[in-house]
Amino acid sequence: MTSTRLIVTQGAAKKRRFLTSGRRVSPLLYLFPVPALALYVIFFVLPTLQTFQYSVTNWDGYSAAFDYVGMENFTRAFTGDSLFTNALANNLKFMVAVVIGQTAVALTMSVLLVKNTKTNVFLRALYFFPTILSSVSVGFIWKFVYDPNFGVINSVLGAVGLDGMQSAFLGDPVTAIYWLAVTQIWFHAGMMIVIFVAGLQAIPAELYEAAEVDGAGAWRRFTSITWPLIAPAMGIVVAYTTIQSFKAFDVVLSISGNPPSRALDILSTRIYSTFADSQFGYAAAESVLFIVFILVMTFLVRRFLRLIQRGES
């Protein structure tokens, strides 16, 4: 007993000496973050601040002089620019389809693949594979899949005698944005599956065993145990998916060309087109609105998700 106390005392003394010596940090060590901080300020903070500055001007991107126009650019975006409001409407449809579809697909697949069997591990890797592809590659792959003349889907439907189900896909202005959402879901669902699997595996197995003993069925176990305890992973997935739905710029351009059709034009591609037209001040205003939309939609979606999980909605 005495020897045990001696060992513990010696260990505590060593720990105190380690902590004491750890406080003696050379001032030079504080210089290590400076290069990274400088790059962050130069390439992110300053351009962001300049965006806010240019958003209230009529700068064309080339002239040395420009005029401050106040809130005129923001007013124009909502009252005098049908292209911007169309892109906003498309983006909202795209966001809703992607958030609901991708979350549902990823959660369903993760519940089925949560056990670490060889088959499940292989399937997780297979579903994750699209996420390592470049966005341009994904766009060209699905452009071929959707092609109405020699695309994979219409060719298969024609081969099995279902010609009536063939579609123009991206050529249909009503459904084009939803077919684009299918591409986005295929592209990112694998990463969401990994996040959900990690969240599911963190839930204690004893809870499921106790619920099963009490006679709870699979759906009851999911609603009473899985759904409430998967909330942290769900929050990450919903936030990431919402942001990605506003940043599908490269997928849209590669799948529909530049400039994209009116049916596939979203906020990021609209901002790009405005910059290309040398309307830098107005494009900066659109960029500010773009940032605000992402912040607001992410907040609202996560808030709605919390209300559902608490049973308040």
Contact 144, 152 (CB under 8 A): yes
Contact 114, 208 (CB under 8 A): no
Cα 113 to its chain centre, rounded Å, is 22
Q: What is the mean pLDDT of residues 111-131?
A: 90
Q: 1.10.530.10, 2.40.50.140, 1.20.1250.20, 1.10.3720.10: which CATH number matches 30-310? A: 1.10.3720.10
**Cα 143 to Cα 112: distance, rounded to the nearest angstrom:** 30
Domain limits, the chain: 30-310
| pLDDT tens per residue across span 22-56 | 567 777 788 888 999 999 999 989 998 988 999 99
| pLDDT tens per residue across span 166-184 | 788 888 888 899 999 999 9
**Cα 151 to Cα 159: distance, rounded to the nearest angstrom:** 12
18 has a pLDDT exceeding 90: no
Q: Which helix (H) or strand (E) holds 275?
A: helix 267-276
Task: Tell me the angle at which helices 231-246 and 176-201 cross, rounded to the nearest 10 degrees.
Answer: 150
Contact 194, 124 (CB under 8 A): yes
List the single range of 69-73, 76-80, 158-162 with lowest mean pLDDT.
Answer: 158-162
Task: Tell me the angle at which helices 280-310 and 231-246 cross, rounded to the nearest 10 degrees.
Answer: 160
The better pLDDT of the pair 207, 306 is held by: 207
User: Which residues fall within 8 angstroms of residue 97, CB to CB, at 6 or more apart?
Assistant: 177, 178, 181
The strand pairing partners of 57, in sequence order, are: 68
The 3-class SS string of 23-83 reads: CCCCHHHHHCCHHHHHHHHHHHHHHHHHHHHHCCECCCCCCCCCCECCCHHHHHHHHCCHH
pLDDT of residue 294: 87
The one-letter amino acid code at 293 reads F
Local confidence band at 164 (pLDDT 50, 70, 90 cut-offs):
confident
**Cα 65 to Cα 44: distance, rounded to the nearest angstrom:** 24
List the single range of 118-132, 193-207, 295-309 with lowest mean pLDDT.
Answer: 295-309
131 has a pLDDT exceeding 60: yes
Contact 281, 54 (CB under 8 A): yes
